[in-house]
Structure 1
Amino acid sequence: MEDADLIVIGAGQSGLATAALAPRRGFTRTLVLEAADRAGGAWPRYYDSLTLFSPARYSALPGADFPGDPDRYPSRDEVVAYLRAYARRLPARIHTSTTVVSAAREQGAWAVRAGDGRRFTARAVVAATGDYGNPRMPDLPGRAEYGGRVLHAADYRNPGGFAGRRIVVVGGGNSAVQIAAELGAVADVTLATRRPIGWTPQRRLGKDLHWWLKHTGLDAAPVGRLLHRVPVPVLDDGRHRALLQERGVDRREMFTRLTPEGVVWADGTEEAVDTVLAATGYRPAFPYLTGTGALDTGGRPLHRGGVATTVPGLGFVGLEFQRCFSSKTLRGAGRDAARVLSRLAARSRP
């Protein structure tokens, strides 16, 4: 059994930011548990061409600027390299290839068990595993009879194998637009959405949108609860919108059902489709907290600003709109982690 002041579950951006700030909040012995064989969280598994929608200067974790041109938009692989370099400098013990299967309160402390039987204890736990492991797949009537391929964006890597296909990408967010534009170079692609795409200019008056978010205070404003009801806009400097048009990717209202051969569009038209790709986001996934009382009946954390409201000594970092607009982003992870750690420290002192 290994003991610590704080156990952080997950070595992605949120877990690493939490571990970096933990000593400043009195957690001098921090342990990070990561299921993968290296730090980096979900980033290594995102599609190959992914690029950030925030410039490098607004994409850093606490204490380490993102290297290179601060005004460029880093790629997936650059983010992975940055996170792994960040992990190597942390004042924490990181156990990789360690899948947490349960975390529960025992005699006033947390007992965490890994799949290989190892046990760890601490006075506080931060769950920072995110939601990538639980893709949100929309209800698709007729899916059982559909003879084509249905996959989620979590399973998409690159256009290889899709050349000449008829593809419907479901979703109107940033990832859906990026993937549809990329596939449009090799296939016949349609974006299917329930509402028109909400385009937002990447730059306004010569400044990136993130400059405005920072300097107006909107990025950190505690309005996370309200944002769950607001559709997330697609940030674009004009490039992706132009690519969709150039490559013939159209947008249509969401189809009503699948058929054995394809889809039935909202106007009743039937069309043969080879592949339906859902870029519809993810749902929180904390199976190791099942039975602790920390989750609601749908498996979502019961929390306020990332601090569990039903179980002592437990925090969350990396939830979408956890507290503000920038929650669940590289630039917002440290801000959320600092608040959660401060509250856990105040409530879990021996």
Structure 2
Amino acid sequence: MPIDSAGSPDPADLDALVIGGGQAGLAVGYHLRRHGLRFLILDAAGRPGGAWRRFWPSLRLFSPAEHSSLPGRPMPPEPGEEYPGADHAVKYLTDYEERYELPVRRPVTARAVRRIPGGLAVDTDTGTLAARAVISTTGTWSRPFVPALPGRDRYRGRVLHTVDYRGPKEFTGRRVVVVGGGNSGAQIAADLAPHARILWVARRPPRFLPDDIDGRALFDTATARRRALEAGRPDPGGVAALGDVVVTEAVREARDRAALTALPMFDRLEPEGPRWADGTVRPADAIILCTGFRPALAHLAPLRLRRTRGRIPVEGTRSVDEPRLFLLGYGDWTGPASATLIGVGRPARETAAAVADLPEVRAARGSRAGAG
């Protein structure tokens, strides 16, 4: 766990280090505890709640509380709301961490993971720790994707990303362009519509899901696809085949009053605002980029595991090239719907079981049992 007398990290004390204290880190911690493993969860944030603490106030979950739960503890309903808000999710995660007495250290930032004899070392801003396995659950919120915008250096307005949005108040009466045809773009455009003069733009026309489709159906779809692929049947198509935008109450209201009609993506920025291919220029005070995120994996760079599109190849959640490393909660490539509260449960359970089955971990557990 700390540095040994020879100056190298000693992995003898910990079976696993979990990097990230959000929903994926807590879910896998729950299952590690059930296996009787020794582990720590390292969280860069100063308080519980993961990325939910940084979302804009009006954001709501796509599913009712009973379908938004981590393993072992149902999320209680939010009074007066069918779909809980971000603050409710923060309270739930805080209670979950406390209820199961999960060993979270914060704030601790993991800077690098590297190989050592018998395990992996994690260099942090507070020192070096080591364990027989590392589970990375750092998510994507800390790594927003900002596309190149020709002319941005000449644009006089403000450019921000989803991560910077804190609500409509600062944009009241302003001209705002919202970029991105997914859920964040639709929700932020709907949030702004009563307060600002908005334009919603996307590279292709956004596809609204049927009004009766919410997170429950999306999870069922992702599960059905996983089962089909595991059984060798043809790919039935996943969540993306259904559409791009879940129709929350706010999105439905904005859509029904024709406030959510998306224009094609503009070509470049002029000093006063975006310009389209036909020469049209629309003045804009701000541009909000709802353009998605990339996995936050910089701490794994010393292991040299990335391949195509910057991803680390995995079987389930285990790294193909480093069997002591697991990745959880980054999207479907690390488990169907694993970036959601309800979806992370199964891959978290499988990850904990795989860690418990590592030869190094089995040997250590045997030694502890013999010593006891």
TM-score (norm 1): 0.90
Q: Is the 8 A contact 1:153 1:277 kept in 2?
A: yes
SS in 1 for 2:287: strand
The code of the aligned residue for 2:21 comes to A
* Residue in 2 that maps onto 1:251: 262
Task: Give how far 1:241 is off.
Answer: 3.2
Task: Give how far 1:18 is off.
Answer: 0.4
* 1:67 and 2:76 correspond: yes
Q: 1:291 aligns with which of 302, 327, 352?
A: 302
Task: Give how far 1:306 is off.
Answer: 1.6
Task: Give how far 1:255 is off.
Answer: 0.5
Q: Output the CA distance in 2 between the equivalents of 1:155 and 1:238.
A: 23
Task: Give how far 1:30 is off.
Answer: 1.5
Change (3 A) 1:219 1:20: farther
* Residue in 2 that maps onto 1:242: 253
What percentage of aligned pairs have identical amino acids?
38
The code of the aligned residue for 1:18 comes to V
- Greater C-alpha Rg: 2
Task: Give how far 1:264 is off.
Answer: 0.9
The code of the aligned residue for 1:302 comes to P
- 1 or 2, which has the higher helix percentage? 2
SS in 2 for 1:20: helix
Stretches of structure 2 that go unaligned for 5 or more consecutive residues are 3-12, 364-372
Q: Output the CA distance in 2 between the equivalents of 1:100 and 1:256.
A: 39
- 1 or 2, which has the higher strand percentage? 1
Task: Give how far 1:318 is off.
Answer: 0.6
Q: 2:152 aligns with which of 130, 138, 143?
A: 143
Q: Output the CA distance in 1 between the equivalents of 2:88 and 2:157.
A: 34
Task: Give how far 1:212 is off.
Answer: 7.8
* 1:177 and 2:186 correspond: yes
Change (3 A) 1:88 1:238: closer
SS in 2 for 1:281: coil
The code of the aligned residue for 1:33 comes to L
The code of the aligned residue for 2:287 comes to V
Q: Output the CA distance in 2 between the equivalents of 1:253 and 1:76.
A: 30
* Residue in 2 that maps onto 1:8: 18
* Residue in 1 that maps onto 2:116: 106
Q: Output the CA distance in 2 between the equivalents of 1:330 and 1:248.
A: 30
* Residue in 1 that maps onto 2:56: 47
Change (3 A) 1:97 1:238: closer
The code of the aligned residue for 2:289 comes to A
Of residues 233-242 and 276-285 in structure 1, the stretch that sits farther from structure 2 once superposed is 233-242
Q: Is the 8 A contact 2:113 2:302 kept in 1?
A: no
The code of the aligned residue for 1:339 comes to E
Task: Give how far 1:343 is off.
Answer: 2.5
RMSD: 2.6
* Residue in 1 that maps onto 2:174: 165
* Residue in 1 that maps onto 2:204: 195
Of residues 80-89 and 241-250 in structure 1, the stretch that sits farther from structure 2 once superposed is 241-250
Stretches of structure 1 that go unaligned for 5 or more consecutive residues are none
* 1:33 and 2:42 correspond: yes
Task: Give how far 1:239 is off.
Answer: 4.5
Task: Give how far 1:213 is off.
Answer: 4.8
Q: Output the CA distance in 2 between the equivalents of 1:247 and 1:82.
A: 35
Task: Give how far 1:271 is off.
Answer: 1.6
* Residue in 1 that maps onto 2:142: 133
Task: Give how far 1:56 is off.
Answer: 1.0
SS in 1 for 2:176: strand
The code of the aligned residue for 1:162 comes to F
* 1:210 and 2:216 correspond: yes
